[in-house]
Structure 1
Amino acid sequence: GYMQQFSSWGKESEAVFYGLKPGKYTFRAEAGLSGQKPLSRLEFSFVILPPWYFRWYAFLMYTILLGLAVFIFIRWRSWKFMQEKIKLEALVSARTEELIRERDRTEQLISKMLPRETADELKKKGKATSQKYEMVTVLFSDIQGFTKIAEQMNPETLIDQLDVFYLHFDSVVEKYNIEKIKTIGDAYMCAGGIPEKNRTNPVDVVLAALEMQQYMREMKAQNANFWELRIGIHTGPVIAGVIGQKKYSYDIWGDTVNVASRMESSGEAGKVNISGQTYELVRDFFICEYRGKMPVKYKGEIEMYFVKGIRPELSLNLKGLPNQRFFLMLQNLRLLDLQEYIQEKVLEKAPPEMHFHNAVYAEEIFMQSELLGRAEGLSEEELLLVRTASLFECPGYILDYFNPVEKNLAYADELLPKFKYSPGQIDKIKKLILSSADTDQQWIAEKVLQDARNSFYGRKDFPVRIKAMWEEMHAHGQSVLPEEWLREVKNRLRKFAFYTETARRLAEITPQEQEAALNEVFKDQDKS
């Protein structure tokens, strides 16, 4: 091994070292006679190299291999993680899709069981509030002698036949926007005017009843042993709401329901029996036969009528189908619903700075358009179009003051289909709305509407209305000095003329008198 000192003197001429560690060494040797000074000395240095696996390049290789191993391990772990993540995401996605499908099925089921608005409220709040409706038309139908029929027929055949005409009844009530309430055995119950209020529900329900009876007659013509149907109808107030916590059901309550049920039980097979209250609401549309009075508990005696069919003048080729005039009359009822809708949704929510384009002016245009239209001899359809277009004068200013016409057109596109206006009618109404910016009116309906818009030009309240218009403009940032506005209005007055003879006759005051009144109204404004 390694020696730090000379060995003892000996006769050997060689030295052997074992197990020397890698490093730098110096070998020294001396030769001489024993007991005398060394005669010669030898010294040389040498280096023992480490094995290759301890050299620098080996450690570099080890470092690289270790880094590579760590890199591979990390990548493998990442790959495993990604595999797990993908598997988990696929599992979550599949479960989510399943939950969405389940939710859609549940919502679809709820929407079939409940009206859309009620179903939406139930989903948002977890419960639905009951609501009172002042005018709802309730229909009850019942199969004549069903108990005896049920005893004689095979149960499966009986259910299949019930299912056939109940499916048809469902399509009929959906066609007339009527809400199906429930079926109990052979009894079918539905109601018009819920959940969306409307004035047409008595007519809609009677039309549906006539169509149901016609279907039963057609079925009986194919099968002599087919059943006959009794139908009873009554119109009045009801309370509607959802009952049940686990199994929801939409139902209605009130005396109206009870009276409708009595109308059905007091009717005759193959006929539609209506109450006197319903008769008063549909008498202009249908031929009805008076059949006496029926005592009802707490209600006294109620008159009853059989509906024989649509009036001849309203029937298409006298075949019992509604003609164009019938639908025009019905659309006039929907027009009142549209007016009420715009009043509630827009006009009543107008900000206080709407001094001119407000509910008062909207009502004025609506009434003037009918007055002038009838006086000028507009057809029933033209009158309907003018009155409808008049409703879209103020909403545009309330919804978007600086783009009122465009907003009115968009609002008409949104609302009119919901109130069953035809595409052709909608196009004509939009043309009338656009006529507010046109100074060259050609169509008599446009002239009537323009005069309805400007009817205040011929009234004594003209100066007050003009001042209200100026205040409204001022509130919306259109800063016009009073004297400038007064000058502009006077220029308008000198050029102004009504289009229709009726509007000219109704004018209470001349343009010259209006100018003098304007000066008086704006006098205090000039001082301020």
Structure 2
Amino acid sequence: MESASRDQLLKRIARLVRQNKELEEQVKKLEREKERLLETTVKYKLLVEGNELRGLKVAEEEKTLKFNMVTVLFADIRSFSGLTDEMDSGAVMDELDEIFFEFDRITGKYHVEKIRTIGDTYMCAGGIPEKNITNPVEVVMAAVELRRFIREYEAARRGSERIWNLKIGIHTGPVSATISGKNRVSYDIKGRAVNTASRIQGASERDAILVSVMTYELVKEFFNCEYFGKLPVKYTGNIQMYQVEGLLPGLCVDGNTALPNDAFRVKFGLIQFTDIQEVILDKLERELPDFLFYHNVKHTVDVVTEVELIGWAEGCTDEEILLLKTAALFHDVGHTVSYDDHEYQGTLLAHKMLPAYGYTDDQIERICKIIMSTKLPPRPTDLLEQIICDSDLDYLGRSDFIPVSNTLYEELKAQDKIISLNDWNRLQVKFISGHQYFTATARRLREVNKKLQIERIQSLINGD
């Protein structure tokens, strides 16, 4: 009897053990599912927050993103009827596939997002998924290269004979984009800008690139454009159109209006700087420690502004202005990592970020050298370093010197780097008395006021 009861107990225990193991597996499975769902939620929230920070409005109910400025391109490429009758239809399709494959490469080169192909029409857009101010120039530059490719492709295959007819239409405006896909995200865009670009492409002629007046106003400093005519658009009225001939003479290599030169890249970089600035200022806003009362976003903006002003006054070239502004933008971003070696940390971020914006290795090295020159005490070795050193300490000769210097005092005090306001004022008198602006522009604008600052500070020092 006891043996039977023991056997039943053992069976019950074994059953409970199995059930417990099954429950444990279920719990682990639920925990994995919970983690997956949390990860998905976090990713979506980051996507939403990141897009909102970049100026994109997210409509969660419709699961769409709204972009305020996108440049849409429609390229229609058709074979001339009659000329391809003797060609095998498979050979014609193979050529079209080759052409579209190269179109993908070219648009990708200019950060233009392929939307889709519809038969023999290729559709793409600039300014998505990343908002940027340069997308009209990038899309038109891509269009110019698409046209050059078709010309060279046909010349290599059949000499002067042409079988492909390329017509391009471009328009800039707001769109709504629907996201789809898991492994590879794709976008379907809608809106009046899409319809207008399609209408402009329909009005285009063989081998022509037509842009709307909206796009023209944003690219006319880069491209030679001729007035083409008006296009009636429902609810909008007539839209003026311009035909893009190619790059302006001073922005192309040896008269090749499809090949940009260094002057183009610098001019483009000065516009693109706005996009980089938005990213860095957002990073500073989010990641700077709370005790940085002086080395804040305002200080970075002040230095960026000042290097440009002094740079132009000192006769700097466009490229030098670009290098100065970029160095000024990054010179204090290292404070998000470390206080005492923030200049070096800023150079690390510059090396990481700037290649994606088309800066050359030589330019990045030059920018980093300019950044490091701001480390106190300043010892600039050339004009650009002198300009940023003067800009970084511009407040020494400004009328708002006292309130600005007080923020630096509060910043140092919060880190126990200074004891009393009296000590701080004595330190300032010593520093300003030994300081000298390096550029003629800064000396002319700030040196007189700087002498007054010493008197003002001395009047604030209490005797011990």
Structure 1 residue 348, shift from structure 2 partner: 4.7
Q: Find the partner of 1:312 among 249, 256, 261.
A: 249
Pair 406,225 (structure 1): closer, same or farther in 2 beyond 3 Å: closer
CA contact (8 A) 2:84 2:163 kept: no
2:280 alignment counterpart: 342
CA contact (8 A) 2:115 2:123 kept: yes
After superposing the two structures, state which structure 1 stretch, 462-471 or 510-519, moved more.
510-519
Structure 1 residue 485, shift from structure 2 partner: 1.2
1:82 alignment counterpart: none
Matches within 5 A, 1:407-486: 407-437=345-375, 439-486=378-425
Query: Which residue identity does 1:285 align to in structure 2?
Result: F
Matches within 5 A, 1:218-257: 218-221=152-155, 222-223=157-158, 224-243=161-180, 249-257=186-194
CA contact (8 A) 1:146 1:186 kept: no
User: Once the two structures are superposed, what CA deviation does each residue of 1:440-494 show, in whole Å capped at 9, x if it has no partner?
Assistant: 3221011111111111111111111111001011223324322111111100111
Structure 1 residue 237, shift from structure 2 partner: 1.4
Query: Which residue identity does 1:213 align to in structure 2?
Result: R
Query: Which residue identity does 2:329 align to in structure 1?
Result: L
- What is the TM-score of this pair, normalised by structure 1? 0.71
Q: Measure the CA separation in 1 of the matches of 2:84 and 2:459.
A: 85
Structure 1 residue 356, shift from structure 2 partner: 0.3
Percent identity over paired residues: 38
1:293 alignment counterpart: 230
Q: Measure the CA separation in 2 of the matches of 1:428 and 1:368.
A: 19
SS in 1 for 2:179: strand
CA contact (8 A) 1:287 1:310 kept: yes
CA contact (8 A) 2:78 2:120 kept: no
After superposing the two structures, state which structure 1 stretch, 154-163 or 317-326, moved more.
154-163
Q: Find the partner of 2:151 among 207, 217, 227.
A: 217
Q: Find the partner of 2:66 among 132, 152, 157.
A: 132
Structure 1 residue 171, shift from structure 2 partner: 1.0
Matches within 5 A, 1:128-527: 129-144=63-78, 154-221=88-155, 222-223=157-158, 224-243=161-180, 249-320=186-257, 321-437=259-375, 439-507=378-446, 509-519=448-458
Pair 175,248 (structure 1): closer, same or farther in 2 beyond 3 Å: closer
Structure 1 residue 148, shift from structure 2 partner: 8.0
User: Once the two structures are superposed, what CA deviation does each residue of 1:188-225 show, in whole Å capped at 9, x if it has no partner?
Assistant: 00111111122221111111111111122223333324
SS in 2 for 1:327: helix
Structure 1 residue 355, shift from structure 2 partner: 0.8
Query: Which residue identity does 2:405 align to in structure 1?
Result: I
1:103 alignment counterpart: none
User: Once the two structures are superposed, what CA deviation does each residue of 1:298-347 show, in whole Å capped at 9, x if it has no partner?
Assistant: 11111100001111111111122111111110111221111111011223
Q: Measure the CA separation in 2 of the matches of 1:149 and 1:381.
A: 49
Q: Measure the CA separation in 1 of the matches of 2:92 and 2:163.
A: 11
Pair 499,190 (structure 1): closer, same or farther in 2 beyond 3 Å: same
Pair 249,347 (structure 1): closer, same or farther in 2 beyond 3 Å: closer
Pair 474,149 (structure 1): closer, same or farther in 2 beyond 3 Å: farther
CA contact (8 A) 2:79 2:163 kept: no
SS in 1 for 2:227: strand
Q: Measure the CA separation in 2 of the matches of 1:434 and 1:342.
A: 18
Q: Measure the CA separation in 1 of the matches of 2:185 and 2:317.
A: 49
Q: Measure the CA separation in 2 of the matches of 1:130 and 1:331.
A: 31
Query: Which residue identity does 2:274 align to in structure 1?
Result: L
SS in 1 for 2:204: coil
Q: Which protein has the larger Cα radius of gyration, Structure 1 or Structure 2?
A: 1
SS in 1 for 2:330: coil
Gaps of 5+ in 2: 1-46, 52-60
After superposing the two structures, state which structure 1 stretch, 352-361 or 242-251, moved more.
242-251
1:99 alignment counterpart: none
CA contact (8 A) 2:147 2:207 kept: yes
Query: Which residue identity does 1:459 align to in structure 2?
Result: R
CA contact (8 A) 2:77 2:121 kept: yes
Matches within 5 A, 1:1-40: none
Q: Measure the CA separation in 2 of the matches of 1:475 and 1:147.
A: 78
CA contact (8 A) 2:147 2:166 kept: yes
Structure 1 residue 522, shift from structure 2 partner: 6.9
Q: Measure the CA separation in 1 of the matches of 2:115 and 2:125.
A: 7
Query: Which residue identity does 1:300 align to in structure 2?
Result: G
Pair 495,248 (structure 1): closer, same or farther in 2 beyond 3 Å: closer
Pair 187,469 (structure 1): closer, same or farther in 2 beyond 3 Å: same
After superposing the two structures, state which structure 1 stretch, 142-151 or 390-399, moved more.
142-151
Q: Measure the CA separation in 1 of the matches of 2:144 and 2:182.
A: 36
Matches within 5 A, 1:38-77: none
SS in 2 for 1:181: strand
Pair 366,272 (structure 1): closer, same or farther in 2 beyond 3 Å: same
Q: Measure the CA separation in 1 of the matches of 2:271 and 2:330.
A: 17
Q: Measure the CA separation in 2 of the matches of 1:263 and 1:401.
A: 54
SS in 1 for 2:254: helix
Q: Measure the CA separation in 2 of the matches of 1:467 and 1:246.
A: 53
Structure 1 residue 155, shift from structure 2 partner: 4.0
1:21 alignment counterpart: none
User: Once the two structures are superposed, what CA deviation does each residue of 1:46-97 show, in whole Å capped at 9, x if it has no partner?
Assistant: xxxxxxxxxxxxxxxxxxxxxxxxxxxxxxxxxxxxxxxxxxxxxxxxxxxx
CA contact (8 A) 1:144 1:269 kept: no
When the two chains are superposed, the root-mean-square deviation of aligned CA atoms in Å is 2.8
User: Once the two structures are superposed, what CA deviation does each residue of 1:494-519 show, in whole Å capped at 9, x if it has no partner?
Assistant: 11111111112222853342123335
Pair 147,179 (structure 1): closer, same or farther in 2 beyond 3 Å: farther
Query: Which residue identity does 1:165 align to in structure 2?
Result: I
User: Once the two structures are superposed, what CA deviation does each residue of 1:395-448 show, in whole Å capped at 9, x if it has no partner?
Assistant: 122332232122111111111112111100000001001101253322101111
CA contact (8 A) 2:284 2:296 kept: no
Gaps of 5+ in 1: 1-116, 122-126
